[in-house]
A and B are shown apart, each in its own frame.
Chain A
Amino acid sequence: MMAALRERAIVSSRSVPSLPRHVRIQYDPVRQAFAVLSPEKVFWPNEISLDILRRCNGQSSVERIIADLAADYEAYPRDVAADVVAFLQEWSDKLLVKL
């Protein structure tokens, strides 16, 4: 009956991640920090996580995100790639990022 309506998405360099409707990033003036709001939880991402999440805009590919972050952090893309992919897979598995 419940033929899988969705399938687990796996991150690839061509995935174009975005935030689903039930997740949003918001600046909190009281705590002076960015919060990620989701149905039950509020997350306080660290700087790098925030940099990844902000690039989940439904336009940039994972490859592009990695290249941008590498440029910002003055690192080689291959050094940031694994972390970015692992992060996106984890958030996608929790349905907090759409691939």
Chain B
Amino acid sequence: MSEPLLPPIGMLAELTHRCPLQCPYCSNPVELLKADRELDTQTWLDLFSQAADLGVLQVHLSGGEPTLRRDFEQLIAGLSARGVYTNLITAGVGIAEGRIEAFAEAGLDHLQLSFQGARPATTDRIGNHRGSHEKKLETAHRARAAGLPLTINAPVHRHNIEEVPEFIDLALSLDAERLEIANVQYAGWALANRDRLMPDLAAVNRQADIVAAARERLAGIMTIDFVTPDYFAIYPKPCMGGWARDAFMVAPDGTVLPCHAAQTIPSLRFERFGDRRLAEIWTDSPAFNAFRGTDWMHEPCRSCERREIDWGGCRCQAMAIAGDATATDPACVKSPIHNRMAMLTDAAQAKAAPEGKESFIFRRIGAATRPDTRAEPAH
């Protein structure tokens, strides 16, 4: 009944939690790690080498802002020496002169650059960093000049969902091969800011139509990947392609996790690379085995024909909304509490502040534990 354990294909390495931006939708955990908790160069290189041995073919280098690591060139070189495909996920702010060229030289395969808005004012406001839009444009030009293939990543929410057509123009003007229009996943900081970010149904539907038309129009010119919004879905996404099925992630301190938000499931304990070898964690860690395959499922998932398509959806969303990590993802229409998703989106709309006046909980160390300030006048 349960399929044999396969080796992982992909790994997301969150090299650091440090970042010049403070996006309120950030997928990092609300408890951010300081620089002194980060793995050193040699440990990352060992980890990458063990990952390649295990069967990892692709590593996404992320953060925080991964280029804040001064050893970033060395980390790329280590991966590329093993033939691993490297993808840099960057905010593109503050990358020193000459470094992008050095990344390319070290063997970087692809660069993914986030834009918080298609308009400078939106980018600067959402990332809480003045001048960031300009710097991102410059990063895109430098990446192309260095011969690097480029994806533009647009995380979408209430405050920029109407900019989708402009995101498409922006990505084309920057000569990107790919545009990723990603509706925010409400975990980490995005969950803390859910009421401040959730779009309404009409905007979601308009966006879906625009993306569908653009995809058709731009076949062979630019690929558009679309991460659909969970709260308006009928079926959930196969989160991470299924829990501990073909990908995993590593936090800055070396904690190996099945997904971004896994640490929000209080019953699980996660292991750190260094205490154990990566292969042992992948195969034996009780946390990885907790929701692997389909044996852990209850009804309605257990007998559902989609159980090996979406793997019951996201465990962390089940935890956050149903209060039970073994429940069916409430994004699924078959979940007994599916209607809670609509209640949550309605509640978010009811609380929406006038555009431009939203008081986000910006992503910074300690911020999420501060009292909610949204009743105060905007400043």
Q: Mark A1-12, 1 if CB is under 8 A from B, else 0.
A: 110111111000
B221 A7 Cβ-Cβ under 8 A: yes
- Interface check A78, CB cutoff 8 A: no
Q: Is the interface of A mostly helix, strand, loop or mixed?
A: loop
Interchain CB contact under 8 A, B87 and A28: no
Does A50 belong to the interface (CB within 8 Å)? no
> A22 contacts which of B7, B9, B53, B110 (Cβ < 8 Å)?
B110
Q: Which of A56-64, A68-76, A79-87, A90-98 contacts B (4 or more CB under 8 A)?
A: A90-98
A37 to B53, alpha carbons, bound, how many Å?
17
How far is B109's CA from A37's CA once the two chains are assembled, in angstroms?
10
Q: How far, in whole Å, are A24 and B149 apart by their CA atoms in the complex?
A: 13
- Rounded to whole Å, the gap between the CB of A17 and the closest CB of chain B is 13
Size category of the binding interface on chain A: 20 to 34
Are A2 and B178 neighbours in the complex by a CB distance under 8 Å? no
B270 interface hit (Cβ, 8 Å): no
Known A-B contacts A2-B169, A39-B151, A95-B222; the reply to A22 vs B177 at CB < 8 A is: yes
Chain B residues whose C-beta falls within 8 Å of the C-beta of A6 in the assembled complex: 175, 220-222
Most chain B beta-carbon contacts within 10 A, residue among A1, A20, A22 = A22
Q: Is the CB of B149 within 8 A of A39?
A: yes
Q: Is the CB of B221 within 8 A of A8?
A: yes
Residue in chain B with minimal CB distance to A99: B220
When distances are taken between beta carbons in the complex, the residues of chain B under 8 Å from A46 are none
The 4 nearest A-B residue pairs measured at CB:
A8-B220, A22-B149, A30-B55, A37-B85
In the docked arrangement, what's the CA distance between A1 and B50, Å? 47
Residues of the B chain whose Cβ atoms lie less than 8 Å from the Cβ of A26: 57, 83
A67 beta carbon closer than 8 Å to chain B: no
B residues in contact with A4, CB < 8 Å: 172, 221
B177 touches A5 (CB 8 A): no
Query: Per-residue CB proximity of A38-53 to B under 8 Å, as 1/0?
Result: 0110100000000000
In the complex where A39-B110, A39-B151, A42-B58 touch, is A95 in contact with B173 (Cβ < 8 A)?
Answer: no
Question: Is B62 engaged at the interface, CB distance under 8 Å to the other chain?
Answer: no
Please list 29 pairs of residues, one from A and one from B, whose beta carbons are closer than 8 Å in the complex, sorted by A's number.
A1-B169, A1-B173, A2-B169, A2-B172, A5-B172, A5-B173, A6-B221, A8-B219, A9-B220, A20-B177, A21-B148, A21-B149, A22-B109, A22-B149, A26-B57, A28-B57, A30-B7, A30-B55, A31-B7, A35-B57, A37-B58, A39-B87, A39-B109, A39-B110, A39-B112, A40-B180, A40-B225, A42-B9, A93-B219
**CB of B368 within 8 Å of the partner chain:** no
Task: Give A7 to B148 CA distance when docked, in angstroms.
Answer: 20
B228 at the interface (CB under 8 A from A): no
Contacts of B109 in A (CB 8 A): 21-22, 24, 37, 39
Cα A21 to Cα B53 with chains together (Å)? 25
**B156-193 interface (Cβ within 8 A of A):** 169, 172-173, 175, 177-178, 180
A5 and B54 form a contact (CB under 8 A): no
Min CB distance B204 to A, Å, is: 22
- Chain B residues with Cβ under 8 A from A28's Cβ? 55, 57
Contacts of A1 in B (CB 8 A): 169, 173
Q: B177 contacts which chain A residues (CB < 8 A)? A: 20, 22, 39, 95
Residues of A within 8 A of B148 (CB): 21
Does B131 have its Cβ within 8 Å of any Cβ on chain A? no
Kindly state whether residue B147 has any CB partner on chain A within 8 Å. Answer: yes
